[in-house]
């Protein structure tokens, strides 16, 4: 395992900007999650680190060495592809053995067997080891694809939405499993997702990408509580942060144009009157849809509430976040 650092990486495809001046440091043993919508440059970042793409400018340092001109093999990284990329003509076992058979590693047969069995056990695919890769379900393929990375001991694991094709139950199980493996191995992982729960639960650091730029980089709590921009604030939190013109409540700092209200920033009981337009019972929480001066607000309330649709309740901000007209944070 090793430190990985991107310095001012820029990459464009034809005329589209893929990444723009991205700098990012992943320390040894960290679990870094890149969060962002489709096209934000998450996968491009992984491919650049893996060596499958070459940056237009900037440097990539792995373990104290600039690897921009190295081949993927020289970089010693393991990648889990979103589209599985299994070797279709090989069995699951052969797929898992493939990286170990690299002449660079020269793995003895018994070690190889043990590693493959261990990984298969963890990912619960032991019973499928002798199946052909094409005879698996999507979820199984994805696990084999992860297994192919985990059998190795690379400098960094690069994972491109590895859980996206799994069902909810398996996804939450593997999320915990992956976190456990990472802690056990002390592995360095760069993980790409658009799922905020994955990001919040697994990451030691989160990087939020927007249109090829790294908007903010920091621990999950900090990203959630202290977002640097309106964009970052909307990426985390469920229900989403509500943004309203500051004029509605007043008391805003100079230069701010928008007020950002997460459910925990909304105090119910006093302040501005608004109407309850809808109530969603989600079991562990109740979502209130409110209408205030022509704006929609979604917030949470406790599960034993007596509030009904059509009621008028008063709300007021409690420690909200302010943004200027461009969406930047105002402190």
Partner 1 sequence: MPKSAIERAAEVTPPAVARRIKGLSDRAIAWIFVTPTIVILLAINIFPLIWTIWLSFTNFRVNRPNNAVEFIGLRNYERILTDPDTWMTMQATAHFLFWTIFFQVLIGFALAYLINKKFKGNDMWTTIIVLPMMLSPAVVGNFWTFLYQPQIGFFNYVVSFFTGVDPTSFSMIGDVSLAPWSIVIVDTWMWTPFVMLICLAGLRSIPDNIYEAAECDRASKWRQFWTITIPMVLPFLMLAILFRGIENFKMFDLVVQLTGGGPGSTTELTSINLKREAFEKWRTGFASAYAVILFVTVFGLASIYVKALNRVKAR
Does the footprint of partner 1 cover residue 105 (CB under 8 A)? yes
- Secondary structure of residue 67 in the 3-state scheme: coil
Q: Cβ–Cβ contacts within 10 Å for residue 144, how many?
A: 26
Q: Which is nearer to partner 1, 138 or 255 (CB)?
A: 138
Site string for partner 1, 258-297 (x = CB under 8 A): ----------------------------------------
Query: Which part of the chain contacts partner 1 (CB under 8 A), choosing from 15-23, 85-93, 182-190, 303-311?
Result: 85-93
At 262, give phi and psi (nearest 5°).
Answer: -85, 165
CA-CA distance, 54 to 324, in Å (whole number)? 37
Q: Which is nearer to partner 1, 49 or 200 (CB)?
A: 49
Query: Which part of the chain contacts partner 1 (CB under 8 A), choosing from 74-82, 205-213, 280-288, 294-302?
Result: 74-82
At 165, give phi and psi (nearest 5°).
Answer: -95, 10
Does the footprint of partner 1 cover residue 26 (CB under 8 A)? no
Does the footprint of partner 1 cover residue 88 (CB under 8 A)? yes
State which of residues 64, 69, 103, 270 lies at the interface with partner 1 (CB under 8 A): 103
Find the binding residues for partner 1 in span 135-154 (CB under 8 A): 148, 152
Q: How many residues are given for the chain?
A: 331
C-alpha 102: how far from chain center:
31
Torsion of CA 299, 305, 308, 311, to 10 degrees: -70
Contact 155, 2 (CB under 8 A): yes
Does the footprint of partner 1 cover residue 83 (CB under 8 A)? yes
Does the footprint of partner 1 cover residue 78 (CB under 8 A)? yes
CB of 127 to partner 1, least distance (A): 21
State which of residues 3, 27, 59, 99 lies at the interface with partner 1 (CB under 8 A): 99
C-alpha 328: how far from chain center:
22
Strand 57-62 vs strand 4-13: parallel, antiparallel, or unpaired? antiparallel
- Secondary structure of residue 75 in the 3-state scheme: helix
Does the footprint of partner 1 cover residue 239 (CB under 8 A)? no
Q: Which is nearer to partner 1, 66 or 83 (CB)?
A: 83
CA-CA distance, 164 to 147, in Å (whole number)? 16
> Cα 17–212–155 angle (5° rounding)?
115
Q: Which is nearer to partner 1, 72 or 245 (CB)?
A: 72
CA-CA distance, 162 to 144, in Å (whole number)? 11
Does the footprint of partner 1 cover residue 247 (CB under 8 A)? no
Q: Which is nearer to partner 1, 38 or 71 (CB)?
A: 71
State which of residues 76, 161, 198, 215 lies at the interface with partner 1 (CB under 8 A): 76
The residues binding partner 1 (CB under 8 A) are 50-52, 71-73, 76-79, 81, 83, 85-89, 98-99, 102-105, 132, 148, 152
């Amino acid at each position: 395992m090793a430190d990985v650092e991107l310095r001012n990486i820029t990459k464009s495809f034809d005329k589209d900007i893929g990444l723009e001046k991205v700098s990012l440091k992943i320390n040894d043993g960290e679990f870094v999650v890149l969060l962002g919508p489709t096209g934000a440059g998450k996968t491009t970042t992984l491919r650049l680190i893996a060596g499958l793409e070459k940056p237009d400018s900037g440097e990539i340092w792995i373990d104290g060495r600039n690897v921009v001109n190295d081949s993927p093999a020289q970089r010693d990284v393991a990648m889990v592809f979103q589209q599985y990329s299994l070797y279709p003509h090989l069995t699951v076992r052969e797929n898992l053995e493939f990286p170990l058979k690299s002449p660079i590693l020269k793995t003895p047969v018994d070690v190889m067997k043990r590693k493959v069995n261990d990984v298969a056990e963890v990912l619960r695919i032991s019973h499928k080891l002798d199946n052909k890769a094409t005879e698996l379900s999507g979820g199984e393929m994805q696990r084999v694809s992860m297994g192919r990375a985990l059998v190795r001991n690379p400098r960094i694991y690069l994972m491109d939405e590895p859980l996206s094709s799994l069902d909810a139950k398996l996804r939450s199980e593997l999320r915990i499993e992956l976190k456990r493996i990472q802690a056990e191995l002390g592995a360095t992982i760069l993980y790409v997702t658009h799922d905020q729960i994955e990001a919040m639960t697994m990451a030691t650091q989160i990087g939020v990408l927007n249109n090829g730029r790294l908007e903010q980089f920091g621990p999950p709590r900090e990203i959630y509580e202290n977002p640097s921009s309106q964009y970052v604030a909307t990426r985390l939190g469920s229900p989403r942060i509500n943004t309203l013109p500051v004029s509605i409540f007043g008391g805003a700092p100079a230069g701010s144009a928008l007020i950002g209200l997460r459910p925990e920033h909304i105090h119910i009981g006093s302040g501005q009157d608004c109407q309850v337009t809808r109530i969603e019972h989600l079991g562990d929480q109740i979502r209130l849809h409110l209408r205030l001066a022509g704006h929609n607000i979604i917030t949470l309330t406790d599960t034993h509430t007596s509030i009904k649709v059509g009621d008028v309740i008063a709300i007021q901000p409690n420690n909200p976040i302010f943004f200027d007209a461009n969406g930047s944070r105002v402190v």
